[in-house]
Chain A
Amino acid sequence: MKNRNRLIMGSALSLAAIAVAIDHTRHRLPDPISVTQEQAEMSEEDQSPCGLDTANSPCSMDDNDSDSSPCGL
């Protein structure tokens, strides 16, 4: 009788686990936000301490007043 009850409980819990798994996979997680080419380039620059190609950078080589650059180029 005890083994039969263990079997019933095991089956019920397994069935519940399968139901939860099915429910969880029916609700897909949101897709990652797509990153555009421009955003990708921007983020690369952001990672660099001295972005060299843009006037927005504090270390820009295009800047005439390069002495004022914090990078001292």
Chain B
Amino acid sequence: MEATTKRSKTDILAVFLALIAILAISLTLQNEFNLRQSLFFITGIGLGLTLMHAMFGFTGGWRMFIREQRSVGIRAQILLLIVLSVLFFPIIGDVFPALKSHAALGQVGISVLIGAFIFGIGMQLGGGCGSGTLFTVGQGQTDMLITISFFIVGATLGSYHLPWWLSLPNIGKVSLITTFGGWLPALVIQLVVLIGLYKLVSFLDKKRNSELQSFSTQPKADSFIEQLVHGPWPIWWGVIGLGIFAFITFIMAGYPWSITFAFGLWGVKIWNALGGDVANWAYWSAGYPAKALNQSVLADITSVMNFGIILGALLAAALAGKFAPAGKIKPKRLLTAIIGGLLLGYGARLAFGCNIGALVGGISSGSLHGWLWLIAAFTGGIVGVKIRVWLQLDKPYGAKS
């Protein structure tokens, strides 16, 4: 059912400041680095705008399904995985030799299992995932500032302990494209599994709620342009938007969209600036992490895209008149934001990424660790939802809210 509602008044000052900031950063990146770096930032803006207008969150979608078997959020996520798998697999399989993009492969083992499990708990306690934390910060939710701060602390700690976690039992990196003998059979198998999953969650939803919620239940605006600019977007617009910007990232960067590497980098840079010694941290002493640590944060693609996501969400929230919603942080919320943030950061580092880098990036580029991540994080999510009830943040299942 579609309804037309009067939207909130656009926050002109916030829109103006966001546009000035976007322009200034784009020009700085182009001047100090190159046009490519500026384009990564603009892609981040697009992702932030899409996430905010479509309210495309993983945490809420999972919680709705765990509590009430409402599947609209999860179905949208599966749809995104289907779209990206179809786009990524042929490129990784070298169908287009000019495009040299690679899969986000992570080793399959205990570190992913434990990391994703605690990330799943952290999602429910912290109130957001990797992408969710960024766009709600951009929206101006002050409690999410606490979550993101401790997300950074957790990711930094995780990077310190990572060598030990990686020494635990594992079977190494597993590419489904290699395992199934080519991109086409691997894609067919993956699509069968994803469609099966889609049907399963739809079935469970219908069984419990008798009717499936549509993808286009957002109130309709007066015109298409007004809805595009001011939102809110139906969730399927979110799938298309995220699909486009994630694909652009994959082509330009040469690997799938990721978020949490930057959080660890920011944390280590802050620690270093405060006088901490990171010279003996194995993770930061070799390869790309060492290079990123020793150059400007603006040279790191993930950081630049994260800045873009925050500003894109800020712009979208201001256009929709939803920037900096009123609300006071209660002590219990403060506690869950701190603990949730720590679990999110630490878990993401151990699991080779968050819901974006490991789940979306991993699965859609044919890495087995993405599937292990999904199972472990969803199990952690169930535990997290139970903890929320125990802490009386949510009412028990079945109780009327």
Q: How far is the CB of A23 from chain B (nearest CB, A)?
A: 5
Render A24-53 as a binary contact track against B, CB cut-off 8 A, 1 for contact: 101101000000000000000000000000
A12 CB–B CB distance under 8 Å = yes
Contact indicator A27/B296 (Cβ below 8 Å)? yes
Q: Quick check: is A71 within 8 A (CB to CB) of the other chain? A: no
Does B324 lie within 8 Å of A9, measured CB to CB?
yes
Binary contact track B185-226/A, C-beta < 8 Å → 1, others 0:
000000000000000000000000000000000000000000
Whether, in the assembled complex, A20 has its beta carbon less than 8 Å from a beta carbon of chain B, the answer is: yes
Residue of B nearest to A24 (CB): B296
The docked-state distance in angstroms from the alpha carbon of A20 to that of B21 is 13
B303 to A, closest residue via Cβ: A20
Can you pick out 17 interface pairs between chain A and chain B where the beta carbons lie within 8 Å of each other? A1-B327, A2-B325, A5-B142, A5-B325, A6-B323, A6-B324, A8-B142, A9-B142, A9-B145, A9-B324, A19-B270, A20-B298, A22-B273, A23-B273, A26-B296, A27-B299, A29-B32
Chain B contacts of A9 at CB under 8 A? 140, 142, 145, 323-324
In the complex formed, the residue of B with least CB distance to A23 is B297
A5 to B139 Cα, complex, angstroms: 11
How would you classify the secondary structure of chain B's contact residues: helix, strand, loop or mixed? helix
Q: Decide yes or no whether B333 CB sits under 8 A from chain A.
A: no
The A/B interface has a contact count, at CB < 8 Å, of 45
> What residues on B are CB-neighbors of A13 within 8 Å?
310
Query: Cα distance A1–B356 when bound, in Å?
Result: 33
Question: Is A24 in contact with B140, judged by CB distance below 8 angstroms?
Answer: no
Which of chain B's residues have a CB closer than 8 A to the CB of A6? 14, 140, 323-324
| Smallest beta-carbon distance B339→chain A, Å | 21
**A interface vs B, CB < 8 Å?**
1-2, 5-6, 8-9, 12-13, 17, 19-20, 22-24, 26-27, 29
Which secondary structure dominates chain A's binding surface? helix
Q: How far is the CB of B44 from chain A (nearest CB, A)?
A: 14
| Residue B269 lies at the interface, judged by CB distance under 8 Å to chain A | yes
Task: Tell me the minimal C-beta distance from A21 to chain B in angstroms.
Answer: 9
For residue A5, which residue of chain B has the nearest CB?
Answer: B324
Chain A contacts for B142, CB-based, 8 A = 5, 8-9
Residues B262-279 near A (CB distance < 8 A): 269-270, 273
B170: Cβ under 8 A from any A Cβ? no
Q: Complex: how many Å from CA A17 to CA B32? A: 16
State the Cβ distance, A61 to closest chain B Cβ, in Å.
Answer: 43
A20-B298, A27-B296 are contacts. A1–B326 as well, Cβ < 8 Å? yes
For A22, the chain B residues whose CB sits under 8 A away are: 273
A-B pairs, top 9 by smallest CB distance, nearest first, are A1-B326, A27-B296, A5-B324, A2-B326, A24-B296, A6-B324, A9-B140, A23-B297, A8-B142
B167 at the interface (CB under 8 A from A): no
- Rounded to whole angstroms, the CA-CA distance of A24 and B299 in the bound complex is 9
Complex partner residue of A5 from B296, B298, B326, CB under 8 angstroms = B326
A27 near B295 (CB under 8 angstroms)? yes
